[in-house]
Amino acid sequence: MSIRIDYSNMIGGAAGGIPAEEWMSSAAAFENAHAGFTRLREGGKVGFADVVGDAALLEQVESYADSVTGRYADVVILGIGGSALGPVALRTALSPSGWNLLSDDARGGFPRLHALDNVDPVTIAALLGRLALAKTLFIVTSKSGGTAETMSQFLIVHERLGNAGLTIADHVVFITDPAQGALRPLAATLGVTALDIPPSVGGRFSVLTAVGTLPAALLGIDIRSLLEGAADMARRCDVARASENPAGVYATLQWLADTRHGKRINVFMPYSDPLRDMAAWFVQLWAESLGKHTADGESVGQTPLPALGATDQHSQVQLFMEGPEDKTVTFVSVSDRGMDVRIPHAFADVKELGYLGGHTLGELIDVEQRATAGALAKRGRPNLTINLDRVDEWHVGGLIMLLELATAYAGQLYGVDAFDQPGVELGKQFAYALLGRPGADAARKEWDTLPEPDSRWSV
Ligand code: PA5
């Protein structure tokens, strides 16, 4: 069982990468970053790396999951951002392909899992219209316990369950901070079970708490192994020497590539369908954590871009090869996919088909990943490959922890707080003002100072 990073294609001045001497001399910067993060961790401000070993949190999730086993055909997450991206990534990675389309028998009696991570009425009306509410559990996930999108969804579901004569507490569970927001007191009023997101774990770092582990447990995913893989990676990363710390390698290389070599874009490209939703999860993590103002007012942060191999070889890879030299590419490869499909021998005399026979699809996708990495390197486009032995609970837990720690270190290297998101506040306040939420008067006044749309600039 292992997770390795091959970063040979990131190093080398002439090849468009980071000169080896520069990489070596960044050791002190990483040591500082590691020390800064360790202070936050030891001070109890940032807990995502520690809660994976918290037996009480695990017990909370397992006992709730056990208590509802076999009761539901469908589970629906109401949540947005970090409350939805992680659980969806776990479902795609760790449940059989096409899970929601499988019959009850093929799912082994485990429920389907849906995530309503937006407020487009088209999607919500369609899903609620086709679910059998009597056999549905709604997981309302909100760290803050007050996010407008999630609260609206909850109000709609609450009304629908009431209209169907169903008891709310039998069909709803909350996952939220124990000490803030509306959900915790509402849980008491409604008799709904509420599971904890520890105060020291922010939304986009919460997938390894009940936010991700409850939906995963309900689908029969081995959450103990997921957490063990994560804890193992956290131990591997408990070292201040960047070259020995996988998350340190990742964070420092991306930071150097961005701030010194103009690689403003970080393409995240798994060559694995099960890992495709990990890309969306990583995009939120990297973007919302690092796109910030520093204390000096400088705007920093590398833009993450999701891609999928081999599919995107026929789409974005042209841009990666010949477009602006402003990108790094992170490939994720998998050694053992647990199964393979042989490509049959046929049409031996047809040039485009004959050479494929006798190979396997697993071989093809691996060769294409290596070929793309090599071609990018040949063109001076830096890239690295994170290799997982397998896509199973242990490795996925490790990958998540690797990327979360890398994000935390990168925050230190850029000189920003990776754990807040002040930039989304103004838009939220404007929306509150327009919807008439109490306390939004100042935002309303600011909104009213915006110029009216100018008809000259409309077509
Ligand atoms: O990472 C974050 O903090 C955010 O993206 C949140 O996950 C998102 O805003 C949802 O917030 P909440 O979980 O408080 O409803």
All structural domains of the chain, each given as residue ranges with its CATH number in brackets, are 3-40+236-414 (3.40.50.10490), 51-226 (3.40.50.10490)
CA of 204 to the centre of ligand 1 (A): 7
pLDDT tens sequence across 173-215: 999 999 999 999 999 999 999 999 999 999 999 999 999 999 9
**Active-site residue 143, yes or no?**
no
pLDDT for 1 equals 80
Chain centroid, CA 340 distance in Å? 27
Map residue 328 onto helix, strand or coil: strand
Using an 8 Å Cβ cutoff, are 69 and 106 in contact? no
Residue ranges of E strands in 201-338? 265-270, 292-293, 299-300, 303-306, 327-336
Residue 447 sits at φ, ψ, to 5 deg, of -60, -40
d(CA 212, CA 105): 24
In this structure, which amino acid lies at residue 206? S
Whether the CB of 209 sits within 6 Å of ligand 1: no
Q: pLDDT by residue (tens digit) across 107-128?
A: 999 999 999 999 999 999 999 9
Interatomic CA distance for residues 385 and 400, integer angstroms: 15
79 CA → ligand 1 middle, Å: 8
Quick one: how far is CA 138 from the chain centroid? 21
- The reported pTM is 0.97
Closest ligand 1 atom number to CA of residue 82? 7
Report the sign of the C-alpha dihedral through residues 44, 45, 50, 51, in that order: positive
Q: Is 81 in the pocket of ligand 1 (CB under 6 A)?
A: yes
The four Cα atoms 186, 192, 193, 198 give a dihedral, to 10 degrees, of -20
The reported pLDDT for the residue numbered 425 is 86
For the CA of 204, the nearest atom of ligand 1: 1
Count Cβ atoms below 10 Å from residue 452 Cβ, excluding itself: 5
96, 265, 312, 380 from 319: Cα distances, Å: 33, 12, 10, 14
Report yes or no: 45 and 38 within 8 Å, Cβ to Cβ.
no
Q: φ, ψ for residue 439 (rounded to 5)?
A: 90, 5
- One-letter amino acid of 214: L
Q: Is the CB of 147 under 6 A from ligand 1?
A: yes
Q: Could you tell me the mean pLDDT of each successive run of 10 residues in the chain, 459 residues long?
A: 95 83 96 98 97 97 97 98 98 98 97 98 98 98 96 98 98 97 97 98 98 98 98 98 97 98 98 98 98 97 98 97 97 97 97 97 98 96 98 98 98 97 90 92 93 93
Ligand 1 pocket residue status of 395, Cβ below 6 Å = no
**Interhelix angle for 55-67 vs 210-218, to 10°?**
40
Helix (H) or strand (E) holding 75: strand 74-78
Is the CB–ligand 1 distance for residue 143 below 6 Å? yes
Contact 268, 305 (CB under 8 A): yes
Q: Which of 314, 351, 352, 452 is catalytic?
A: 314
Q: Are 399 and 332 in contact (CB under 8 A)?
A: yes
Active site residue 314: yes
Interaxial angle between packed helices 425-435 and 148-163, expressed in degrees from 0 to 180 and rounded to the nearest 10: 50
